[in-house]
Amino acid sequence: MTEPQTTPPVASDQYVQSLARGLAVIRAFDADHPVMTLSGVAQRTALTRATSRRFLHTLVELGYVRTDGKNFSLTPAVLQLGYAYLSALSLPQLAEPHLQELSALLGESTSAAVLDDGDITYVARVSTRRIMSVGITVGTRFPAHATSMGRVLLAGMAPAALDGYFAHHHIAPMTPRTVSTEAELRRVLDQVRDQGWCLLDQELELGLMSMAAPVHDAAGKVAAAVNVSLQAQGVSAQADPAAFLARVRQELLRTAALISSDVAAGR
């Protein structure tokens, strides 16, 4: 998981610092830190203990955080913050039936995600079984550089936007296999851009492989990505792993094309 943003943007007369700090407190909680003390929140947000305490207790009063007097955790009410976005976003509704069909065809979990700053955020998910140590649901975030969907989305960025990504995000290794230098990742993104898909082999978590393809909007821009999650051991156990991956790629690209067509048509 990525660390919460601790460096605020350049202040302006339109910038509300208290709102930014409150959101930073909410974002400090993630799968690795579901329950924290006041000191833990202060450390992850780079806020003082006094400031963290005020925001935490405000969030408790609003129903977004619960506490036992020592530890703090989010409540399901925080999901409301994302529902407005998802309800206005047609992509999940358009993608889900195609993802369900792909999942049934291959017997593997499928997903759709969009790029959010330096992370991908899952907006649709059809799960056949849990193959990661961290459960994936709608709203789950992972660093873009270490995911197949993230690389598809990064490869679809305009050159200036991609330069901005590299200027503001650290490419941290998630496993010993993770591409972790800008030069190497740029070479990988060039390849992904040229071939139109990405295969990731145990770079996010050991034992996990995934293959992703882009979803294009009516203007031909990469709007989202879809993927198929695979177990590395299961792939290697295939009689012909290369042929199996080729079939996954063929069906994935077909699915991405169908979703792109629906997105472009606004169906």
Q: What is the mean pLDDT of the chain?
A: 89
Residues 121 and 22 in one domain: no
The three-class DSSP label of residue 17 is: helix
Residue 12 lies in a domain: no
* Cα distance between residue 267 and residue 251, in whole Å: 21
Provide the pLDDT confidence category of residue 130 given band limits of 50, 70 and 90. low
* Cα distance between residue 215 and residue 131, in whole Å: 24
User: Is residue 88 pLDDT above 70, yes or no?
Assistant: no
More confident residue, 85 or 35: 35
Residues 102 and 42 in one domain: no
User: Is residue 32 pLDDT above 90, yes or no?
Assistant: no
Residue 4 lies in a domain: no
Provide the pLDDT confidence category of residue 1 given band limits of 50, 70 and 90. very low
Name residues whose C-beta falls within 8 Å of residue 223's C-beta, 6 or more positions apart in sequence.
Answer: 91, 114, 215, 216, 217, 263
User: Is residue 123 pLDDT above 60, yes or no?
Assistant: yes
Residues 119 and 41 in one domain: no
Q: What per-residue confidence (pLDDT) applies to 128?
A: 85
Is 222:215 a contact under the CB 8 Å cutoff?
Answer: yes
Please give the backbone phi and psi of residue 31, each rounded to the nearest 5 degrees, phi first.
-65, -30
Output helix, strand, coil percentages for the chain, rounded to the nearest 5: 50, 20, 35
CATH code at position 58: 1.10.10.10
Give the ranges where the chain is alpha helix by DSSP (H).
17-27, 38-45, 49-62, 80-88, 91-106, 148-155, 159-168, 182-195, 232-236, 241-265
Provide the pLDDT confidence category of residue 24 given band limits of 50, 70 and 90. very high
pLDDT in tens, 134-174: 678 888 899 999 999 999 999 999 999 999 999 999 899 99
As a whole number, mean pLDDT of residues 112-131 equals 87
Describe the strand order of the beta sheet including 35-37 as a list of residue ranges. Answer: 35-37, 71-74, 65-67
Total structural domains in the chain? Answer: 2
Closest C-alpha to 4, from 35, 42, 58: 42
Q: What per-residue confidence (pLDDT) applies to 9?
A: 52
Question: What is the pTM for the complete model shown?
Answer: 0.70
Q: What per-residue confidence (pLDDT) applies to 76?
A: 81
Percentage above 70 pLDDT, the chain: 89
Residues 44 and 126 in one domain: no
Residue 84 lies in a domain: no
pLDDT in tens, 222-264: 999 999 999 999 999 999 999 999 999 999 999 999 999 988 8
**Apex CA 253: angle with CA 210 and CA 178, to 5°?**
25
User: Is residue 83 pLDDT above 70, yes or no?
Assistant: no
CATH code at position 221: 3.30.450.40
Residue 226 lies in a domain: yes
* Cα distance between residue 66 and residue 73, in whole Å: 6
Whole-number CA gyration radius for the chain: 20
| Domain span including residue 25 | 17-78
